[in-house]
Structure 1
């Protein structure tokens, strides 16, 4: 790290400290030469500003110049008084007042020499920092350790954040302070970013780029380890997705996972039409879940992915809402997720069917991202969700007949059935007299050729009403 005090020690420069002796630990990120009276718009944090003071004409001129350096959080000012008969007193006072270290440049020293020496010092420091990061990555490839090394080299806290806003790893607690954000390499549906709590100059920016590359390599290694671990559950997931598989085959494949036979599992199914990102989507949703998780793709297209999650740990009450909000942050096309279970191995096939029906119910929604749990929808909806579209339309048309052509009667029948066939409750909900309600129900029954007070008929009509058109 190149500090202001480092500049005073560079051989051949002979810089003399005139103000800011207590500020020599400031880091220098680059060098900038200017003769503007007010260089505000061109300054950056951490810069060593080099000036021949051509802007200075009389006492008082230094205030505007130095105040601009202070607002930009410049590291120091190196000034030559060759054209002003020495360093003006008001410049020294202004630097003390605004807490800007002031270094006096010898009159016989060219700015080209200073620039060359400082740039070489910054380059050497950058190369050293990059080498130390590479060495750290070789010794300990874990993300937290890597970020800790990076924070030390950059002198600023670092975070790795996923596209959903999840903090993957950090060098310090708390939410990221996004002063510099760099993309982490790799082809992922859920990209990561490196966030640094500092405005970086050219040298530190190169170090941060190296750190982002190393984070990408660490992620690739973690992906490979995860894929290897998931292979033990791959046969179970394939069988779960195959309706023709037997209970014995499922039990045998379950044994290979090493889980006790009475372990309850939740089944999650992610469907991403046209893309192969389901496994990564589920991985992001379950990244912070403490339970054992197995994730695997199904089929050649990989549009479907299953996750098996141990259900003997706490499950968030608002998981559906949280998962929907998380996935909405991903601009990766349609994402459908269904959840089934929990169930032990004997009921695992049923949990898988429940997850599939839940995904089919999600597909009938208009939202780009839809998450449905089997627990939140009625059994009749789960059963209907598994029926082919053509069959659903045929059943609706056959049962409801001409009723949809009479909106008032259709609404009356719906409310009547939702009120468990109670004329009094339905009449109150519709704000009509109970005799009017009875007349409408009788008229609807005539149109359909059925008795709407019969329980089995009520079930058929209600199921038909719940089919989306």
Structure 2
């Protein structure tokens, strides 16, 4: 990494510090020559600004110039006083006030020589940095991130597309999921973010704490490639799981990303089955943050929707079947991401989820057919009355209150519905058959 101090050590330049001696370790990314009185719009962070001070006419002129350097994050100002009788005091004072290192350029030194020497120093440093990074090929991600931070002179992080910090050299200045969302939406932010190389369903990202010069961006891309190699080569241990496990069924509609997505989402899990767009993994427990992580990564995937079913803890085969049925329930939810824990699904829903659509539709027609036909002919809504009655646990009083009718009216309607259905709606088994038929219609879209 080239710093301001590095430039002071170049024997051919004979630069002399005039201000900011405690700031000489700032990294220098490139050189910019200007004689504009306010060059702010053309500056970028890390630049060595070279000026002959032709913009300086009288005391006070230095303030806007140096303030612009400070706002842009310039590394230092190298100034020649050959045309101004030396460096004016207000230039020195402004640099002290705005904490900009000031280097005095000898009056007999050509700017072309300075530019050439600085460019060569930056190129040599970049080449050395690249070689040092390449020498770390195959190292753990944490090591690569530390090397990258040293070479770039900026904090660095590797983030998973699920919003997880894989490694970093400092506390992340914003939530990781915000970084991923901004990247997915192509929104600018305080960090420079680029993808880690490699063909993975869930991408990893390199985040750097600040804007990058061209040379720095090239180094960051080098790091991205090395991290990608390390990720691809990293062994995946298979943890031992207890006899009773939680099983997650995950479907990535329209893509084959389910297996890799499960592996990244549940690093402590074991993939049990994987076929096409659906995979199953056994874990100790379902992390509460997992559903939110799926919503974060969804824009970065090829899948049209992400669906999940999560079983409760139990014997593996039973847990697989429960997760499979919960997944079928999730498939009937709206939205691009839907995860259904089995514990939040009624038993009747799990049972119906295991039945094919045609069977559910047939069940609805067989049990409810006469009542549906009557409602259509008479323009009544006995089906709704029966549903409310059953959802009120067969209580005429509660159902009448919910429907805003007299209890005798409710009893008459339920009796008429029972006649049409050939069922006694005060008997539990008949109630159960009719309720399941109603819910089968819901799940079949009827």
TM-score (norm. length: structure 1): 0.84
Matched residue, 1:182 = 194
Aligned partner of 2:269 among 293, 297, 308: 293
- Residues of 2 paired with 1:106 and 1:407: CA distance? 99
1:249-289 CA-partner distances (Å, limit 9, x unpaired)? xxxxxxxx976xx62122221122331111122123213xx
Which segments of structure 1 move beyond 6 Å, counting only runs of 4 or more?
none
Root mean square deviation, CA, Å: 2.3
- Residues of 2 paired with 1:105 and 1:427: CA distance? 94
Contact persistence 2:161–2:297 (CA under 8 A): no
Deviates more, 1:196-205 or 1:63-72: 196-205
Aligned partner of 1:172 among 158, 161, 170: 170
Shift of residue 343, structure 1, vs aligned partner:
2.2
Deviates more, 1:363-372 or 1:167-176: 167-176
Residue 341 of structure 2 corresponds to residue 343 of structure 1: no
- Residues of 1 paired with 2:429 and 2:322: CA distance? 25
Contact persistence 1:323–1:371 (CA under 8 A): no
- Residues of 2 paired with 1:373 and 1:297: CA distance? 19
- Residues of 2 paired with 1:358 and 1:383: CA distance? 10
Contact persistence 2:311–2:322 (CA under 8 A): yes
- Residues of 1 paired with 2:410 and 2:240: CA distance? 61
Contact persistence 1:176–1:197 (CA under 8 A): no
Residue 281 of structure 2 corresponds to residue 307 of structure 1: yes
TM-score (norm. length: structure 2): 0.88
Residue 277 of structure 2 corresponds to residue 277 of structure 1: no
The SS at the match of 1:25 is coil
Shift of the 123–323 alpha-carbon distance from structure 1 to 2, 3 Å rule, reads closer
Matched residue, 2:222 = 210
Aligned partner of 1:163 among 142, 161, 164: 161
How many residue pairs were aligned?
422
Shift of the 130–326 alpha-carbon distance from structure 1 to 2, 3 Å rule, reads same
1:287-328 CA-partner distances (Å, limit 9, x unpaired)? 3xxxx52115533xx21211122x3xx554x46754664565
Contact persistence 1:37–1:65 (CA under 8 A): yes
- Residues of 1 paired with 2:345 and 2:19: CA distance? 73
Shift of the 308–315 alpha-carbon distance from structure 1 to 2, 3 Å rule, reads closer
- Residues of 2 paired with 1:45 and 1:323: CA distance? 34
> Which consecutive unaligned segments of at least 5 residues does structure 2 have?
176-189
Shift of the 339–28 alpha-carbon distance from structure 1 to 2, 3 Å rule, reads same
Shift of the 297–120 alpha-carbon distance from structure 1 to 2, 3 Å rule, reads farther
Matched residue, 2:326 = 358
Shift of residue 44, structure 1, vs aligned partner:
1.1
Aligned partner of 1:444 among 401, 414, 417: 417
The SS at the match of 1:466 is helix
Residue 370 of structure 2 corresponds to residue 399 of structure 1: no
Contact persistence 1:164–1:329 (CA under 8 A): no
- Residues of 1 paired with 2:417 and 2:300: CA distance? 47
The SS at the match of 1:56 is coil
Contact persistence 1:320–1:371 (CA under 8 A): no
- Residues of 1 paired with 2:68 and 2:95: CA distance? 11
Contact persistence 1:176–1:195 (CA under 8 A): no
